[in-house]
């Protein structure tokens, strides 16, 4: 007795063939899609967890790079030296009409005993934009976006000035003079320095050609 009755199974292969013909295009499309997606998933295994939107730069928690730079300029006290002062009810205060414009062009240095100061200490003028010490007389730079300030600088010039302490951000130029504390600022990150530069480039341009530094008297007599 034949207990294995395969009646009706002769149509099984033809059923598969019909099914494949009917859905072959859909199957092919799925295979192609899988092949295209596999390399992307291999490169980024966490892609499924990512949001469909790119993350925006944080800029130190501020809305823009310029705003972050303004904050850094404030807490680094750049205005204390680079902005001329005027006398207010409580003493010297920032002259808001000349923010970050440096030592005023043509303004003479106060009548002081340079020889004494260069040998024993330091002093600043009443505007606190000219400083006298063993290095001679240094004048704070114009940091505004004017061409007499940093208007023609590239970002690389600014980073060189702070990282290497070089005048005008040129690696072959003289060192930056006191009281510029570039030795501290050099530890700022690249992103922080770029933010500061972006802010300075956005400032109101103020035309002011700052005088060249004056060598010390000892150097002049040699």
Q: What is the pLDDT of residue 114?
A: 77
Predicted confidence (pLDDT) at residue 21 exceeds the cutoff of 50: yes
Over the stretch 58-87, which tens digit does the pLDDT of each residue have? 899 999 999 999 999 999 999 999 999 998
Contacts of 39 (CB under 8 A, 6+ apart): none
Could you state, in order of their start, the residue ranges of all structural domains in the chain?
63-214
Over the stretch 157-204, which tens digit does the pLDDT of each residue have? 999 999 999 999 999 999 999 999 999 999 999 999 999 999 999 999
Q: What is the pLDDT of residue 205?
A: 98
Phi-psi region of 9 (alpha: psi -120 to 50; beta: other; left: phi over 0): alpha
Contacts of 208 (CB under 8 A, 6+ apart): 98, 101, 102, 104, 105, 142, 144, 146, 148, 149
Within 10 angstroms of residue 109's Cβ, the number of other Cβ atoms is 16
Over the stretch 89-146, which tens digit does the pLDDT of each residue have? 998 899 999 999 999 998 887 677 777 777 777 777 778 899 988 999 999 999 999 9
Most confident of 4-8, 53-57, 68-72, 213-217: 68-72
How is residue 84 written in tokens?
């001329």
How is residue 132 written in tokens?
């006298």
Cβ atoms of 210 and 142 closer than 8 Å: yes
Q: What is the pLDDT of residue 28?
A: 63
Predicted confidence (pLDDT) at residue 44 exceeds the cutoff of 60: no
């Amino acid at each position: 007795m034949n207990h294995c009755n395969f009646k009706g199974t002769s149509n099984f292969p033809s059923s598969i063939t019909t099914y494949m013909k009917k859905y072959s295009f859909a199957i092919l499309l799925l295979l192609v899609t899988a092949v295209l997606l596999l390399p992307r998933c291999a490169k980024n295994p966490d892609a499924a967890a990512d949001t469909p939107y790119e993350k925006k730069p944080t800029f130190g928690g501020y809305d823009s790079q310029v705003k972050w730079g303004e904050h850094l300029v404030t807490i680094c006290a750049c205005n204390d030296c680079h902005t001329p002062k005027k006398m207010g009810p409580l003493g010297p205060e920032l002259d808001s009409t000349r923010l970050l414009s440096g030592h005023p062009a043509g303004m003479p240095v106060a009548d002081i005993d340079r020889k004494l100061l260069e040998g024993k200490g330091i002093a600043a003028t009443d505007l606190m934009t000219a400083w006298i010490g063993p290095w001679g007389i240094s004048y704070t730079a114009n940091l505004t976006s004017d061409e007499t300030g940093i208007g023609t600088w590239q970002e690389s010039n600014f980073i060189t000035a702070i990282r290497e302490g070089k005048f005008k951000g040129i690696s072959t130029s003289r060192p930056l003079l006191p009281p510029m504390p570039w030795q501290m600022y050099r530890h700022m990150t690249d992103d922080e320095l770029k933010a500061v530069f972006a802010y300075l480039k956005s400032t109101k341009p103020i035309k002011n050609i700052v005088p060249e530094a004056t060598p010390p008297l000892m150097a002049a007599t040699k």
